[in-house]
A and B are shown apart, each in its own frame.
Chain A
């Protein structure tokens, strides 16, 4: 390499935007890779760092334990059954949503997408309010934990499945099917020989995604399953928090990381195939339902979607407002008082306060780190250092595919001693939440930055704008919508985060999801009612955040 080329390279790597990338990188090294490395080491060297002897006794515990084998098996089959049920319920609705145009379709799409953005604890509470012992339909007596878990998973993942299948199905070109018809294929034969094979990659991709979600489901299993129905995720928590068996918890975390990585790899492979088959956008031709059969199908799936997605939420809100058979705000009022005999030694109002403080702090941390990462990746991309960009982009997405429980567990076993002791720091929870929200900020901001044509930056430079002013007067206003959307994402994710919070939040600094979990675990109508009330509040906050994001992103599309 000659001197000039070195000078050019040096100039690229010392550019302020590239240096900004160090902020998220350090953030990841300390709060993501260091904890995960800690889990790995702790599995084999239990007394690290004081005693450096390798201890594989956990292996005897794992292999000798019927329970653990049972848990791993259960994790897989509950995920498979949940995925199957989700697919079965979403497939017919996807057909209707991808073929027909009808009044209220937009509303239906919105209804269908709300459950997915709700925190797992709210979903669990909503299912409990519908079918649990004290639930609206409690008399149906279908409150077997397994039934509740399956229903919660279907409720939760229905929208992902529906969204992927609908967009793919709507794009399948009608003329292929028409061509098949002119070749003598009847409707059923067309479906079996043409439509289904074309749809399969999307079906597989969506199913894998839902399988991964159900596989690493934590809050729902912990709340609705009880000790009898434990998955790997829930067992990591039980082993760590109740039995203090850190080597086994570490080993299970490793197992969880390994399984998730393999599943994510399979999902990526399938979704790539789906993209290859993916029809071009803009082909969708919806028609209004005309025949009685079509109208019945539309009405049926609309009814099903509303029942599936809105009934549990309505039941939740209803339960929070009814006390002793009468409409009452008593549960909401109780949030603000703390009876002396409450086992929950800080009032729920404190949990609400901490949730908002944590979410606000997490929002700021996620926005700053996410913006730095986006600026760095965008710059690397622009100066054609694409190799580096291609390396860091997926790396920054890792928190999305890492189970929150694993992350929370890794953090408390590594960040509780020098060189970095954050055990009692109130910053720990917002930092973990920011890590989980970070990929969402990056995914919102980076495309907005990439959409800004470079020549308007150059035009600003020739008009006398320094790099700092270009950032302030051009980049910042042009990505303000994306920044807001990313910030709302980070905020709502933090409000609902459960898996990592249960490890990292101290007893004096609970959050709303922790309060819901504790209230649901206590007997008595008052505890139950308060769980319903706080869940309803959290539902409203997250749903409002989601609707706000939808509004911002649809405005953004119109703007450019």
Chain B
């Protein structure tokens, strides 16, 4: 299958000489589901932010549908990104949070309302339209964030540790919901996590990162049964 997202020799070094990303190469076919797994500080979030356009690499290229997107500012990429602590807009209610991306596209009020209704149904949030976001529970906030990210119909969906702010029981439940939603949408998904159970459930392809580099790239089975080296074995337990 044709590769939709291609990352070529991506590098980023911090001002103090710390290596954030070291020669990342990656190719994702359309509709694929990738999990990015690794300990904290391994460069997962930096990679995600570069794909989103929020950070700029020192060198290398990111191509989407065969065109380099490095010069495209984040608001013109139409990539959806769900933030670790959700980054909901505190002055807007649930409806207007979800409708934000649609408004930015210049959609009419009716179009906005119908898509928001669809998203509320998808994320089991019917009836929450007029709630203030600071009245929501952690799980509800997470679902609003997901609905907001999906509403504009992004070309690529990125999730940065979407479950880390939740407690264990809720995490399991919402992980199931997320994977169900993913399987219904045919959209390329990148799921960043430090938890291998989540990585296995969310992705059909996994890259394992450490110290800014990709240590192993393969299926969940590969990682479990054919670990590249001792570090992978240790990290996978």
Binding site for B on A (CB under 8 A): 4, 453, 455-456, 458-467, 469, 473-474, 477-478, 559-560
A-B CB contact pairs (8 Å), 16 listed? A453-B87, A455-B83, A455-B84, A456-B87, A456-B90, A458-B81, A459-B87, A459-B148, A460-B75, A462-B52, A462-B75, A462-B77, A463-B80, A467-B75, A473-B100, A478-B91
5 closest cross-chain pairs (CB), A and B = A463-B101, A464-B104, A459-B87, A461-B74, A455-B87
Known: A4-B58, A469-B104. A464 touches B90 (CB 8 A): no
* Chain B residues, CB < 8 A from A456: 87-90
B87: contacting residue among A458, A465, A560, CB under 8 A: A458
* Chain A residues, CB < 8 A from B105: 464
Q: Are B54 and A458 touching (Cβ within 8 A)? A: yes
Q: How far is the CA of A477 from the CA of B90 in the complex (A)?
A: 10
Q: How far is the CB of B56 from chain A (nearest CB, A)?
A: 9
Q: Are B78 and A477 touching (Cβ within 8 A)? A: no
Q: Are B104 and A465 touching (Cβ within 8 A)? A: yes
Q: How far is the CB of A148 from chain B (nearest CB, A)?
A: 49
Binding site for A on B (CB under 8 A): 49, 52-54, 58, 73-81, 83-85, 87-91, 100-101, 103-105, 148-149, 152
Known: A455-B83, A458-B54, A458-B74. A463 touches B100 (CB 8 A): yes
Q: How far is the CB of B72 from chain A (nearest CB, A)?
A: 11
Q: Are A463 and B148 touching (Cβ within 8 A)? A: yes
* Chain B residues, CB < 8 A from A464: 75-76, 78, 101, 104-105, 152
* Chain B residues, CB < 8 A from A463: 75, 80, 100-101, 104, 148-149, 152
Known: A453-B87, A477-B91, A560-B90. A462 touches B58 (CB 8 A): no
Q: Are A474 and B89 touching (Cβ within 8 A)? A: yes
Known: A464-B75, A466-B75. A459 touches B81 (CB 8 A): yes
Q: Are B83 and A459 touching (Cβ within 8 A)? A: yes
Known: A455-B83, A469-B104. A461 touches B89 (CB 8 A): no
Chain A's closest residue to B49 (CB) is: A458
Q: How far is the CA of A463 from the CA of B100 in the complex (A)?
A: 7
* Chain B residues, CB < 8 A from A461: 53-54, 73-75
* Chain B residues, CB < 8 A from A467: 75
* Chain B residues, CB < 8 A from A458: 49, 52, 54, 74, 81, 83, 87
Known: A461-B75, A465-B75, A469-B104. A478 touches B90 (CB 8 A): yes
* Chain A residues, CB < 8 A from B149: 462-463
Chain A's closest residue to B160 (CB) is: A455
* Chain A residues, CB < 8 A from B49: 458
Chain A's closest residue to B154 (CB) is: A462
Q: How far is the CA of A453 from the CA of B85 in the complex (A)?
A: 11
Q: How far is the CB of A111 from chain B (nearest CB, A)?
A: 34
* Chain B residues, CB < 8 A from A4: 58
Q: Are B89 and A462 touching (Cβ within 8 A)? A: no
Q: How far is the CA of A4 from the CA of B73 in the complex (A)?
A: 19
* Chain B residues, CB < 8 A from A459: 81, 83, 87, 89, 148
* Chain A residues, CB < 8 A from B77: 462
Q: How far is the CA of A560 from the CA of B77 in the complex (A)?
A: 31
Q: How far is the CA of A467 from the CA of B73 in the complex (A)?
A: 10
Q: How far is the CA of A469 from the CA of B80 in the complex (A)?
A: 18
Q: How far is the CA of A462 from the CA of B84 in the complex (A)?
A: 14
Q: How far is the CA of A455 from the CA of B145 in the complex (A)?
A: 12
* Chain B residues, CB < 8 A from A469: 75, 104
Q: How far is the CA of A453 from the CA of B90 in the complex (A)?
A: 10
* Chain A residues, CB < 8 A from B58: 4
Q: How far is the CA of A466 from the CA of B105 in the complex (A)?
A: 11
Chain A's closest residue to B58 (CB) is: A4
Q: How far is the CB of A460 from chain B (nearest CB, A)?
A: 7
Q: How far is the CA of A456 from the CA of B83 in the complex (A)?
A: 9
Q: How far is the CA of A474 from the CA of B89 in the complex (A)?
A: 8
* Chain A residues, CB < 8 A from B76: 464
* Chain A residues, CB < 8 A from B84: 455
* Chain B residues, CB < 8 A from A473: 100, 103
* Chain A residues, CB < 8 A from B54: 458, 461-462
